[in-house]
Structure 1
Amino acid sequence: MVAHSEQNALKTPAKMPAKTPSTTPARRLPKEARRQQLLATALVIIRDEGADRLTLGNLAIRAGVSKPVVYEHFGTRSGLLIELYRWIDTERVSAFQAAMAAETRGQDQTIRLLATTYIHCATDITDDFHTVGAALAGSEEKAAVFQELLNNVILMFVAVLKPFDTLPAGELEKRCIGFVGAGEALSSALVRGTLDAREAETVFASLISGGMAAR
């Protein structure tokens, strides 16, 4: 899930798990498991040393692998940052989907849970997401990936609200674009301290409820 805006973006309730890398040689892992280990190690480097210290060479050292292994997975530092950007957001999306996938609910209850869960998730991993995003500032790749992540969130909103859709054909997706934009702005206000969590959640739920009404 994309972070609320490019200036503020998705801290976790208990930060995303990132194991402290070992200085001993890494054992051979399947390719996907190695990728996950490298991304987790990259996140540790950012938290411990700052984004400037996240280089492919430093990642190889901290992960206990050779440089060619890191280059094979990411190619360039920009490629690494893009994958880390996606990975952090994927963790939040997973948390969002898990929270919404419980028992069947009515429309009002679903909207309230949607608003609460989104605001909560959109203020998760803010520091990490923002730090990686800042390291990518100005890159065309960041703009493209940010839009990709935003589109994914819109589709999630459509899926959650579809059972209650009484709008003209195609209208729900358009309104979900507006809902997500409002959620991003409210989450940003929460991070800045302009609103508290309860206020942001209540306002967001009201906006969604009003937006679901046929006109």
Structure 2
Amino acid sequence: MSSAGLREQVSHSRPRRRLSREERHRQLLDVAWRLIREEGTEALTLGRLAEQSAVTKPVVYDHFGTRSGLLAALYREFDERQNTLMDAALQASESTLAGRAAVIASSYVDCVLLQGREIPGVIAALAGSPALERIKRDYEAAFIEKCRIALSPFAGIGAVAPAGLWAMLGAAEALSYAAAIGEITAAQARDELFQTIVAMVARNARPHALD
């Protein structure tokens, strides 16, 4: 037998290494993101995920429990990535309104674009369940609080109003989605969000400007 044939026989006879739970969880999430990217969020079921991951359904159910659990895990991963990116950028940024606004705008837009078109589909799916909507709201509230802390030093004697922060978040989601589907460029999304943030803080810093 040739050496090549011997190597092939050995590779076929060698048992495949069993993935650890953490490695399997990572694999399932990667396949889930790919499924959403290629087939849309509606195609993402636990059965389909098991099929595409070459595992049995009980394995997927053990990791996520339900489809809602899977969607929550995907959104949680997106949120953690966004927070990591933003925290690092805030630490390295200039302590100015322009510096902080640029970090918030670029971190939000870049994180959505890094995930691609998949995350808008996950966010839309979250809105279809009260339990998932609560999870999304909790993460949004944490993001808004992070922004409030970062921007408050530049609001003068006024506070950064909650209504303005929620408006900022709505703009961030809309602009990032538009960039993800190619309606506008990433640079346009970042710049518009930056201008929105700066204007919001300036408005709060001059509460009587229009009196």
Identify if the C-alpha distance between structure 1 residues 33 and 173 changes in structure 2 by more than 3 Å, giving closer, same or farther: farther
1:207 matched to 2:199? The reply is yes
* Matches of 1:127 and 1:173, distance apart in 2: 31
1:176 matched to 2:180? The reply is no
TM-aligned CA deviation for residue 109 of structure 1:
2.6
Identify if the C-alpha distance between structure 1 residues 202 and 166 changes in structure 2 by more than 3 Å, giving closer, same or farther: closer
TM-aligned CA deviation for residue 137 of structure 1:
5.2
* Matches of 1:200 and 1:150, distance apart in 2: 20
* Matches of 2:204 and 2:114, distance apart in 1: 26
Identify if the C-alpha distance between structure 1 residues 211 and 26 changes in structure 2 by more than 3 Å, giving closer, same or farther: farther
Structure 1 contact 81–132 (Cα < 8 Å) conserved: yes
Counterpart code for 1:172: V
Structure 1 unaligned segments of length 5 or more: list them. 1-23
| Higher relative contact order structure (alpha carbons within 8 Å, sequence separation ≥ 6) | 1
TM-aligned CA deviation for residue 213 of structure 1:
0.9
Larger CA deviation: 71-80 vs 200-209 = 200-209
Structure 1 contact 26–65 (Cα < 8 Å) conserved: no
TM-aligned CA deviation for residue 120 of structure 1:
3.8
Q: Which residue of 2 aligns with 1:43?
A: 33
* Matches of 2:190 and 2:77, distance apart in 1: 28
Q: 21, 34, 53: which one pairs with 2:24?
A: 34
Q: 48, 66, 73: which one pairs with 1:58?
A: 48
* 1:31-180 pair list within 5 angstroms: 31-122=21-112, 124-125=114-115, 127-136=117-126, 138-164=128-154, 166-167=156-157, 171-172=159-160, 174=162, 175-180=164-169
Structure 1 contact 56–77 (Cα < 8 Å) conserved: yes
Identify if the C-alpha distance between structure 1 residues 173 and 65 changes in structure 2 by more than 3 Å, giving closer, same or farther: farther
Counterpart code for 1:204: T
Counterpart code for 1:159: I
* Matches of 2:198 and 2:139, distance apart in 1: 24
Identity within the alignment, %? 33
TM-score for both structures, normalised by structure 2: 0.69
* Matches of 1:65 and 1:152, distance apart in 2: 35
TM-aligned CA deviation for residue 145 of structure 1:
2.2
Identify if the C-alpha distance between structure 1 residues 141 and 188 changes in structure 2 by more than 3 Å, giving closer, same or farther: same
Aligned residues: 189
Q: Secondary structure at the match of 2:76?
A: helix
Structure 1 contact 119–200 (Cα < 8 Å) conserved: no
Larger Rg: 2
Q: Which residue of 2 aligns with 1:14?
A: none
TM-aligned CA deviation for residue 165 of structure 1:
5.2
